[in-house]
C-alpha cells in the first residue's frame, strides 16, 4: 500500500509572463518531514498557496490521501485533513492559549447549534485542543493569555492550532522565523517527535533546522525543483551549492 499522504503532480502557475511554478511534482510520505527550500522569490509561497487552496494552479493536480483537492476551497481541504500554520501569526493576544486553539477547532466544526453552548465548556472543543497542547508540551500554559507567552511558545501554539484539527498532513510555513537558538532547538525537537504521527511539509529558511529535521529536501529555484534528496545529497549537490546555499554554507 502506498504511504503517500500528499502529492503534487506537474503543477504550473504563471503570473503574467512570470512562470512562478514550473512543472513541480513532489510527494509527502507517512512519517517524514519533507522540506522545501529555495532562495527568495523561488516560488515557495506560490507553491504553498496552491496546496493550501489560496491559489489555483494553471495546470497540474494536488492529492491528499488519495482525493484530488486541486479545486477545493481552503475549508474543504482543512476538513479533509490538511493542517497548516502561517508565516504571520493569527493568534488572539488577550485570549488564553486554550481559547485560541479551541476557536480553531470550532471554526472547522462550524455547527450553528454550538452558539448555544459556552465555548469553554464544550467537550468536543476542549478535548482535541488539550490533546494538541499536550503534544506541543504546552498544557501547563493552557489558561495563560497568549500575550504573556514567549515568541517560541507562540509558535508552539500555532502548531497546536493546526494539530487540534487532527490533520493527515501538516504544512508549516517558516515556523522557526524570528526564534532564537533556544526556541528553534525546542521546536525542532517537538517537530521531530510529531512527524511520526503527522507528516510535515516544511518551508524553512533556517538551514540548520532543515538539515537536522528533513528526511527529504526539495530545492526550488525560479519555480522549478532543481534537486530532491536527503540532507547529505542536497549538501553535496553542486547545482544546489551554486544556486542556493553558497559554498560557505553547505
Ligand X SMILES: Nc1ncnc2c1ncn2[C@@H]1O[C@H](COP(=O)(O)OP(=O)(O)OP(=O)(O)O)[C@@H](O)[C@H]1O
Interface contacts to ligand X, rule CB under 6 A:
15, 18, 20, 38, 40-46
CB of residue 107 to ligand X, shortest distance in Å:
26
Of residues 20 and 82, the one with the C-beta less far from ligand X: 20
**HSE-up of residue 51 (Cα within 13 Å, Cβ side):** 34
Using DSSP bridges, classify how beta strands 33-37 and 216-221 pair: parallel, antiparallel or unpaired: parallel
CB of residue 173 to ligand X, shortest distance in Å:
9
CB of residue 222 to ligand X, shortest distance in Å:
9
CB of residue 5 to ligand X, shortest distance in Å:
23
Of residues 40 and 110, the one with the C-beta less far from ligand X: 40
CA angle 48, 35, 100 (to 5 degrees): 60
Of residues 153 and 204, the one with the C-beta less far from ligand X: 204
Of residues 41 and 180, the one with the C-beta less far from ligand X: 41
CB burial string 86-113: b at 16+ within 10 A, e below: beeeebeeeebbbbbbbbbbbeeeeeee
CB burial string 70-80: b at 16+ within 10 A, e below: bebeeeebbee
CB of residue 218 to ligand X, shortest distance in Å:
12
Of residues 42 and 157, the one with the C-beta less far from ligand X: 42
What is the distance in angstroms between the CA of the first residue and the CA of the last residue of the chain?
A: 36
Q: Are 175 and 158 in contact (CB under 8 A)?
A: yes
Amino acid at each position: 500500500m502506498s504511504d503517500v499522504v500528499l502529492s503534487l503532480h506537474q503543477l504550473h502557475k504563471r503570473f503574467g509572463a512570470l512562470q512562478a511554478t514550473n512543472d513541480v511534482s513532489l510527494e509527502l510520505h507517512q512519517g517524514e518531514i519533507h522540506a522545501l527550500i529555495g532562495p527568495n522569490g523561488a516560488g515557495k509561497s506560490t507553491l504553498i498557496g496552491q496546496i493550501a487552496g489560496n491559489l489555483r494552479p494553471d495546470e497540474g493536480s494536488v492529492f491528499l490521501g488519495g482525493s484530488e483537492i486541486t479545486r477545493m476551497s481552503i475549508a474543504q481541504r482543512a476538513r479533509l485533513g490538511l493542517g497548516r500554520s502561517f508565516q504571520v501569526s493569527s493568534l488572539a493576544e488577550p485570549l488564553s492559549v486554550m481559547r485560541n486553539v479551541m476557536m480553531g477547532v470550532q471554526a472547522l466544526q462550524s455547527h450553528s447549534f454550538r452558539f448555544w453552548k459556552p465555548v469553554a465548556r464544550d467537550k468536543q472543543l476542549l478535548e482535541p485542543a488539550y490533546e494538541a497542547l499536550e503534544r506541543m508540551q504546552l498544557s501547563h500554559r493552557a489558561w495563560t493569555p497568549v500575550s504573556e507567552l514567549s515568541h517560541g511558545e507562540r509558535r508552539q501554539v500555532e502548531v497546536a492550532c493546526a494539530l487540534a484539527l487532527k490533520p493527515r498532513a501538516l504544512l508549516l510555513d517558516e515556523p522557526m522565523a524570528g526564534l532564537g537558538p533556544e526556541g528553534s532547538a525546542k521546536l525542532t525537537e517537538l517537530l521531530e517527535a510529531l512527524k511520526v504521527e503527522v507528516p510535515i511539509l516544511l518551508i524553512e529558511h533556517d538551514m540548520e533546522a532543515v538539515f537536522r529535521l528533513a528526511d527529504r529536501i526539495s530545492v526550488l529555484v525560479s519555480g522549478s525543483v532543481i534537486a530532491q534528496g536527503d540532507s547529505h545529497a542536497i549538501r553535496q549537490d553542486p547545482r544546489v551549492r551554486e544556486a542556493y546555499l553558497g559554498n560557505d554554507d553547505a
